Structure 1
Amino acid sequence: MKNNLGSISLLVAFGGLVFFEVLLRMDILTHQGWKIVTAGFEAATIGGFADWFAVSALFHEIPIPFVRKHTNIIAKNREKLTEGIVDLVTNKWLSPDVIAEKLNEVDLAKIILDFIQQPKNQQNAISLIQNIVLKLVDELDNPRFADALQKILKDQVSSIDLASPLGAWLQKSIKNGDHHQIWELIIEETGKSITNPETKTLLLAKLKEAAEEYSEKGFFKKTALFLAEKSGGIDLNLIADDLLLKAKELMSDAKTDANHPIRSKFDDWMLGFAQQLTSGDEKSINLIENLKERVMQHVEEEKVIHTLLISSKETLTAQLQNNETPLMQFLISNLNRMLVDLREDPAAQQKINIYIRETVSELLVKFHSEIGNMVRSSMMKLNNKELVEQIEDKVGNDLQYIRLNGAVVGGIVGVILALLKLL
């Protein structure tokens, strides 16, 4: 009904004009008042027709001589229309000042917090974080990343002064007795190595090598060694067992006695070495520097960094597979704690608001022309017919009131003019 309102009003006006004009000419209606009514319908018809033409000329071409070129206005002026809409949108409706003003009225931090704290959205955020971290983890075993990380580590280690801190730490540990547990661990492992069959095999080989070297020093020594071995005076296997047993007893005594001479002597040496490090002794410092270089060389040759990254990738990938793993539980609990702390911290919320507003404002100024470009691009994609149909679909129904108003106002003016003629 609404989209036919203009046509109905024109039809009523024209029908009324014909009806009363016929009755007047047939002298069925003779009173002067009917002429006023007829004049009203006549003016209403003219007004309705004129507004029909005006509205229709916006969207369609009307094949009327002389006025045809003034119809189909939207299609013929689409470039001006497009630029006008672009200017209106970019400089009036969505200008940087307008958007910034609206942003200042909104508590963006609160909106973000409310959004994230909803269970569904929080799960989506966690899933997003998982996906991002998984993509990063997937690149951990990239050889180029390992090489870059190794270079960074090497540069950092090379520039670090380990001598002074190490010397200070050694002095403190020895004076406080903190190193005794390390000593006991070293002695225990040494004791285990002594009882290892491979140790005895190595010791026997060294004893045989020493015996051979001794026998080569002269005929008499070789003869004496030969007679001793044949008579049982020298049993290398027994000597090896005795040496290992004495070494094991020595390690056992050193482990239980913190003041054992071996431990005390080594502590004194370590304390002196620590003092040399802290005092800047060149020889001691060079020892540490050489140790650093050898460690980094070993790391590089054995591809330690790459191996660690591969292992880390496997571990992290497994930890990121679901929300029940220790790593994900740690991340989720910290995320919840951070959100609670942020909600209770108005100052932090204000900083977030300021940051978002300033960032958005900067982006708007920098890329504001893109808004107009998007509007322009969207309109240019439409051909004339599609453009006219879209505009007509949105405003065509409301324009019918123009036609209705034209008929009504025309009728009223016609009645007034007819009354004036009678005066």
Structure 2
Amino acid sequence: MGLIARTGLDRFNPAQGGARGMRIAATGLLILMAAVYLLARSQEAAGSPVWGYVRAFAEAAMVGGMADWFAVTALFRHPLGLPIPHTAIIPRNKDRIGDTLAAFLRDNFLIPTVVARRLRRVDVAAAAGRFLAQPPTGEGRLREGASRLAASVLESLDDERLGGMVKGAIAARLKALDVAPLLGQSLRAAIAEDRHVPLLDGIILWAGRTLEANEHLIREMVHNRAGTIMRWTGLDERLATAIVDGLYKLVAEMADDPGHPLRTKAEEGLATLALDLQYDPEMQEKVARLKAEIIANPAVAAWIDGLWQQARNGLLNAARDPQAALAGRFGEALRQLGETLQQDERLRATINQFARRAAVGAVAAYGDSIVRLVSDTIRGWDAQTVTDRLESAVGRDLQYIRINGTVVGGLVGVAIHAANAWL
């Protein structure tokens, strides 16, 4: 019963009331025919031939109604509780019905070749493109549907293959990019607009801090290189102090004087570097080798992979949000994607191929599990509960069979009686 509740079979079926009403009507009609039969038998002795026809109709109607009642009842239970062979068909064959249904799903829907063949006739990418190019303007189901569609399109693409394509494209673009001239032009423009000054200031500040942090190393180096006489007289300490003070003074002068000769030399060096980056083949070759080494570094590959995953996750999160999926820049991007899907045949073919492979792969990997799930689920259902639910679902039409059997049986009885009377 717990499994029945989880599958939703214990919910109220709107057809149940209608089936009960039709059952009462069919049974009432059968009782009515019995009453008519008794009345016709009591009046037939009066000599009027009409009552003979009425009796024949009611008699045959009872036979037809009882036969159809037996047939309908035998589907779901034993008539009158008697264990008559070949009755209670559905409860006795519940497991076989589940196995048959599972086999039907497996043989007609969950075969990879069947799925692939049917999906070849379905242009998933074009349908998605049309939907995305003309998104729904209102809220509610349509927007949620568009959001789910966008997320499904993104999720249906093979992450490993598509991610490899994207990351490979990024790496190829980086390899094809001639970095040296761009760096040279950027450095030249920065020097022309004095945007290199903060860089020099930062270098000077860094030099001052480095000097302060390593002052003891300078004093130690002077002490180790000084002679015995200098150490004995203490001149090594005075020399080290003079060197350190001179360096501090140089750094301070460079920081305070924008026209300091060393700053000027540094600016001239930067200008020369900018020209070499733009026009010196040897310098450009050095930069190209350095760029190739950086791209080949595993850390850069991990960084590119992180960029792809962040972009993909961001798109999926945005697509799953029905309020944001079709709004703002992302909505415009979706519309552009829809137009591209409709116009670019190669992209559409690639996405359709991804969709087919995803569906076929899911069927190949999980088809047997789905079949077993259907079979095991039906096996786990309570037979009586399933019988009651099926009877309430199709019972209205089945009770019509009883009514029709009663009426048709009566008409056949009249026809037979008429034939006997005329012959």
TM-score (normalizing by structure 2): 0.55
Q: Percent identity?
A: 18
Aligned-pair CA distance for 1:36: 2.3
In the other structure, the counterpart of 1:56 is 73
Contact 2:95 2:375 in 1 (8 A): no
Aligned AA for 2:418? L
| 2:31 paired residue among 2, 6, 11 | 11
How far apart, CA to CA, are the structure 1 residues paired with 2:62 and 2:415?
Answer: 15
* Residue 335 (str. 1) matches residue 330 (str. 2): yes
Deviations 1:186-234 (A, max 9, x none): 76567779999x87x969x869968x94782799xx7xx9xxxxxxxx9
Which structure 2 segments of 5+ residues have no match? 1-20, 151-170, 319-323
* Partner secondary structure for residue 68 of structure 1: coil
Q: Which residue of 2 aligns with 1:146?
A: none
CA distance in 2, matches of 1:420, 1:362: 65
Rate the CA distance shift 1:117–1:73 in 2: closer, same or farther, 3 A.
same
Q: Aligned equivalents of 1:188 and 1:340: distance in 2?
A: 48
- The offset of 1:55, in angstroms, is 1.2
Alignment counterpart, residue 216 of structure 1, candidates 229, 236, 240: 229
- Describe the superposition over 1:212-267 as per-residue Cα deviations: whole angstroms up to 9, x where unpaired: 94782799xx7xx9xxxxxxxx9999999889778877898883679967876998
In structure 1, the partner of 2:360 is 362
> After the TM superposition, which residues 186-225 of structure 1 pair with which residues of structure 2 at under 5 Å, given as runs?
213=226, 216=229
Aligned in 2, Cα 1:89/1:41: closer, same or farther, shift over 3 Å?
farther
Counterpart residue number, 2:399: 400
> How far off is 1:21 after superposition?
0.9
Instruction: Write the letter of the residue equivalent to 2:61.
Output: A
Q: Secondary structure at the match of 2:337?
A: helix
* Corresponding position of 2:58: 41
Q: Which amino acid aligns with 1:362?
A: V
Alignment partners' CA distance in 1, 2:129 and 2:120: 16
Gaps of 5+ in 1: 130-155, 226-233, 300-304, 314-318, 324-328
1:255 to 252, 259, 265: 259
Q: 1:54 Cα deviation (Å)?
A: 1.3
Report the residue type matching 1:6 in the other structure. Answer: A
Q: Distance between the aligned counterparts of 1:400 and 1:262, measured in 2?
A: 101
Change (3 A) 1:422 1:364: farther
Partner Cα separation in structure 2 for residue 407 and residue 71 of structure 1: 21
Structure 1 residue 391, shift from structure 2 partner: 1.2
**1:6, 1:403 within 8 Å by CA — same for their partners in 2?**
yes
Give 1:385 shift. Answer: 0.9
Relative to structure 1, is the Cα distance of residues 398 and 237 closer, same or farther in structure 2, using a 3 angstrom cutoff?
closer
Shift in Å at residue 397 of structure 1? 2.1
Residue matched to 2:3: none
Contact kept? 1:14, 1:42, Cα under 8 Å: yes
Correspondence for 1:82 among 98, 101, 104: 98
For 1:112 and 1:342, how far apart are their aligned partners in 2?
7
Structure 1 Cα separation of the partners of residues 207 and 101 of structure 2: 92
RMSD across aligned positions (CA): 6.4
Equivalent of 1:72 in 84, 88, 104: 88
* Alignment correspondent of 2:14: none
Partner Cα separation in structure 2 for residue 207 and residue 94 of structure 1: 80
State the 1:399 CA deviation. 0.8
Structure 2: distance between partners of 1:391 and 1:248: 94
Decide which structure has the larger Cα Rg and report it: 1
Q: Secondary structure at the match of 1:12?
A: helix
Q: Tell me, yes or no, if the aligned pair for 1:190 and 1:251 is still in contact at 8 Å.
A: no
Q: 1:118 to 1:248 in 2, by over 3 A?
A: same
Deviation at 1:47, TM superposition (A): 1.1
Q: Which amino acid aligns with 2:64?
A: G
CA distance in structure 2 between the aligned counterparts of 1:2 and 1:369, rounded to whole angstroms: 41
Equivalents in 1 of 2:133, 2:187: separation in Å?
Answer: 53
In the TM superposition, what whole-angstrom CA distance separates every residue of 1:351-405 from its partner, at most 9, and x where no partner exists? 2873575356525753455554443233222122112111111112211111111
Equivalences, count: 349
Matches of 1:285 and 1:103, distance apart in 2: 47
**Residue in structure 1 matched with residue 158 of structure 2 by the alignment:** none
* C-alpha contact (below 8 Å) 2:76/2:90 kept by paired residues: yes
SS at match of 1:69: coil
Per the TM alignment, residue 84 of structure 1 is displaced from its structure 2 partner at its CA by: 3.7
CA separation of 1:117 and 1:369: change in aligned 2, threshold 3 A: farther
* In 2: Cα distance, 1:177 partner to 1:259 partner: 16
> Does 247-256 or 334-343 show the bigger shift?
247-256
Question: Structure 2 vs 1, CA of residues 235 and 398 (structure 1 numbering), >3 Å: closer, same or farther?
Answer: closer
Q: CA deviation at 1:410?
A: 1.1
TM-score normalised to the size of structure 1? Answer: 0.55
Query: Is this contact kept in 2: 1:343–1:349, CA < 8 A?
Result: no
Structure 1 residue 59, shift from structure 2 partner: 1.3
Partner AA of 2:404 in structure 1: N
Q: CA deviation at 1:335?
A: 0.8
